[in-house]
Chains A and B, each alone.
Chain A
Amino acid sequence: MQASVINIEKIRKDFPILERKVHKDKPLVYLDNAATTQKPVQVIEAISNYYLNYNSNIHRAVHELAEEATAAYELTRDKVAKFINAPRREEIVFVRGTTEAINLVAYTWGRQNVGKDDIIVTTEYEHHSNIVPWQLLAKEKGARIEYVGVDDGGQLMLEQLDRYLETGRVKLVTFSQMSNVLGTISDSEEIVRRCKARGVRVLVDGAQSVPHMKVDLQRLGCDFFAFSAHKMLGPTGVGVLWARRDLLEGMVPFNGGGDMIREVHKYETTWNDLPYKFEAGTPNIADVIGFGAAIDYLEAIGMDRVREHEVEITRYALEKLSEIKGMKIYGPMDAGKRGGVISFNLGDIHPHDLATIIDEDGVAIRSGHHCAQVLMERLDVSATSRASFYIYNTKDEVDVLVRALNRARELFRI
């Protein structure tokens, strides 16, 4: 194993799944991290420790188990706030994931603030979860959706954003900080600056950025921010919506029920304080606690080093993949300015066929439209293959990928 900015050998020991073999005897080469990452034992143990030792509902009971569980659950909120440098812990709302966070904003703030002929601006490289909720809202309100286009280098064409902003009808601009297909890192501070200059609200989808680079919400200056635990070593079923306190205060609740109320009477209810107003019902206690362990794990490595490792492996992969005959890579080619997500097509091999073939060599990649069909149309392809890296991936694994792709190329006689 080559030297790296992080101690990969030590890290890999924390991920027992990486030891397993697939297709009988092939070591697993897991390169589908943009879909979901593997979980270290520390996270798995935090979850089982809760169930084994202090399983209890939170916030209401006064017994010792409930107090321990409440403390552990709320501790994750503090960890999240610190991890993304959010100004206040009560602005962190736990949800099921990025998808639910965006829907929450669309169904509450969106319904209250977007009206007929208003414009919601998104981009051509959004995940379906940052398109469909806005389409639903636009249909309901008679509003319009506009797209900031993507140029041939995989970058957003910000002059189009300016044109939309000039109409004076834009209510919200929403975009992902890192594309889950092209790996493009958006110029997010600049986008937020342009929106703020016109008093327009901004939602940032951090599903791909938060796991892979240092994110500082106070520098970013957006209004809403969403991300998922399962893409950053944490469990599925937990995500975060961050929103500025004044916005959360003005928003109607998303779900009604227990925990989100202050007083319930027959015909009137008053809401609980933030963030509980948006956390109705028994939350995903175990997994929120597990998420806390994931953040600890990443903090111990340091997000700067996580990023440095990924730049290094992405640079290596871009170089090696480019050498394969018939290879077409989508997105920016400068590893220093993009994330560790590489989408490509090899000759006329359909991505599903390609993924089937290299799966036999133990290599797990994603194939398809990656929940980004608007982008697929823009690229004029029906699908791509996608390899995506994380802290435990090595250059040796990139070599296995390259060998597997060459085998596929030979099978298809390219």
Chain B
Amino acid sequence: MSSADIYREIILDYYRNPRNYGKIPNPDVAQRDSNPLCGDELEMHLNIKDNKIADVKFTGKGCAISQASASMLTELIMGKDFEEVKKLSKEDILENLGLHDLGPARIKCALLSLKVLKSGLYSYLTEKMKDTASADKMKEEASGLY
């Protein structure tokens, strides 16, 4: 994928004007991760009510791909059913971003937000739902992302 196709207006817009940027006071889920290779950082906060994503916000530092991906992911899951969010895949994220054939280094940037989300859901499923079976699946998915 050429950089002219990666850095389209929409990616730059989400990079420069991220939607749902910020923190939720006392969130149900707070999850942070960073990419040790490039130092990209991401923290995601979620509130979950009646099995729906009631609120989601993120903060972070990093490249246009990682930050736009995080912002677009928050929009994608806001108000969605918890069960649906649990099922989100790598392909869904890339599709949502309109990115494909990213090289091995840059795909990590695009998927950092999904990794943070899945790790957060893992903690939520373990601690709040005591659903170890789904939690283990979530953890495996998170670590399988890269």
A contacts, CB < 8 Å to B: 348-353, 356-357, 360, 367-369, 373, 376, 382-383, 408, 411-413
Contact = CB atoms under 8 A, between A and B. Distances in A.
Interface string B1-32: 01110110000100010000000000000000
Given A368-B37, A368-B39, A413-B12, A350 B3 contact: no
Interface residues of B, number: 19
B64 A369 contact: no
Contact of B61 (A349, A367, A382, A408): A382
Given A352-B63, A353-B63, A412 B12 contact: yes
Contacts of B38: 352, 367-369, 383
A411 to B, nearest CB: 5
Nearest to A411: B7
B62 A356 contact: no
A353 B64 contact: yes
9 contacts: A351-B63, A352-B63, A353-B63, A368-B38, A383-B39, A411-B3, A411-B4, A412-B7, A412-B12
Among all A-B residue pairs, the 8 with the closest Cβ atoms: A350-B63, A352-B63, A357-B3, A382-B61, A353-B63, A353-B64, A369-B39, A368-B38
B65 interface: yes
B60 to A, nearest CB: 10
B130 interface: no
A351 B105 CA distance: 13
A350 B4 CA distance: 16
B3 A348 contact: no
B139 to A, nearest CB: 27
A189 to B, nearest CB: 34
A373 B106 contact: no
A352 B106 contact: yes
Given A368-B37, A383-B39, A413-B12, A352 B109 contact: yes
Given A356-B106, A382-B61, A373 B7 contact: no
A398 to B, nearest CB: 21
A369 B39 CA distance: 7
Contacts of B109: 352
A411 B11 CA distance: 11
A352 B63 CA distance: 6
A383 B34 CA distance: 13
Contacts of B63: 350-353
Contacts of B65: 352-353
A298 B64 CA distance: 41
B43 interface: no
Nearest to B41: A382
Given A352-B62, A369-B39, A382-B61, 6 more contacts: A352-B40, A352-B63, A353-B64, A353-B65, A356-B6, A382-B62
A382 B62 CA distance: 8
A412 to B, nearest CB: 6
A357 B39 contact: no
B35 to A, nearest CB: 10
Given A368-B39, A369-B39, A382-B41, A356 B12 contact: no
A165 to B, nearest CB: 33
Query: Looking at A353, A368, A369, which has the most chain B CB atoms within 10 Å of its CB?
Result: A353
Contact of B64 (A350, A376, A383, A413): A350
Query: Looking at B40, B64, B65, B106, which has the most chain A CB atoms within 10 Å of its CB?
Result: B64
Interface string B60-84: 0111110000000000000000000
A180 to B, nearest CB: 16
Nearest to A367: B38
Contacts of A408: 3
A376 B34 CA distance: 16
A256 to B, nearest CB: 32
